[in-house]
Amino acid sequence: MRPELDVEDIVQQSKPAVVLLKGSAGQGSGFFITDTGVIATNAHVVEDQQALVAELSSGQKLDAKVAYVDLDKDIALVKVEGGGFQHLTLANLTTVRQGQTVVALGNPGGSLPFSATKGIVSAVGKSEANGKGTWIQTDAAINPGNSGGPLLNNHAEVVGINTQKIVEKGFQSIGFALSSTDLIEVLDRFYPAVTAPGTPTMQASDGFGMVTVSSDPDGADVYLDGKFVGNTPATLKLPIGEHAMRLTSTNRVAWERTVEILKDSQVNLRAQLPPAQ
């Protein structure tokens, strides 16, 4: 178990992993979940956005592209080029307790960017009114622009994605974050190389096989059946059958193969991406 931190330490440790996402239709928040530039946010933050830019707390600005959108869960994955990014750890929902302290980080509109608010976990559960998934209700202030930012426990681990606040007459201090479990489920489907503390390592089951992908150079973008699924090295759980795999890297010749996955198989692939002429 990671040590418990006070609020100041949580903010200082986590803030470098939080980003301000700006696009033609507005702005929101997000946070790095890998050191290779994968950012988690809400789908409604990046939907219909053009020329998306991710701004770090250091002031650095990076061009960003939407890699995956799950509208049902209101979760999106965004990718920036580069590596060595400070990123946050995802906590398992089983660690979340009613009454525990949480900190929300993000970029509320009309306020200073990369701000923090503190509260408690008011409740955890399903909510048809809010949509699919498991929700964490909190009294930590969540305002427009905070959407997509992390809700952190006292170990500086992500327990949820700040998503919405009830704005109705008679309601005060009721905000909601979509649980980290929902993000983990999306990652298991789209980017299996990312796991969370307490999450079992995936094992091949009926109808699936495992593929380990590496490359020279490391950090190549991996596309599976036309969808971005992460960076090398990566381990992917795939259904049986043929899959089109493509690896790309800046100023390198792309590597492409058709891979046949058999039940319970273990496949190791290493791609050589020579310099582009």
Tell me which residues are annotated as active site: 44, 74, 147
Q: How far is the first Cα of the chain from the last one, in angstroms, to the nearest whole number?
A: 50
Between vectors from CA 88 to CA 34 and to CA 238, what angle results, nearest 5°? 40
Q: CA 194, 197, 200 angle in degrees (round to 5)?
A: 75
Tokens of residue 232, six digits: 């090398």
Residue 126: in which H helix or E strand, if any? Answer: strand 115-127
Q: Two tokens at 182?
A: 């929902």
Instruction: Answer yes or no: are the C-beta atoms of 23 and 14 closer than 8 Å.
Output: no
Q: Measure Cα distances from 113 to 21, 30, 159 in Å.
A: 11, 12, 21
Q: How far apart are CA 190 and CA 68, in angstroms?
A: 8
Instruction: Specify which residues 22 forms β-bridges with.
Output: 27, 53
6 CB-near residues (< 8 Å, 6+ apart): none
Q: Is the dihedral of CA 38, 40, 45, 48 positive or negative?
A: positive
Cβ count near 111 (within 10 Å): 14
**C-alpha span between 74 and 64 (Å, rounded):** 18
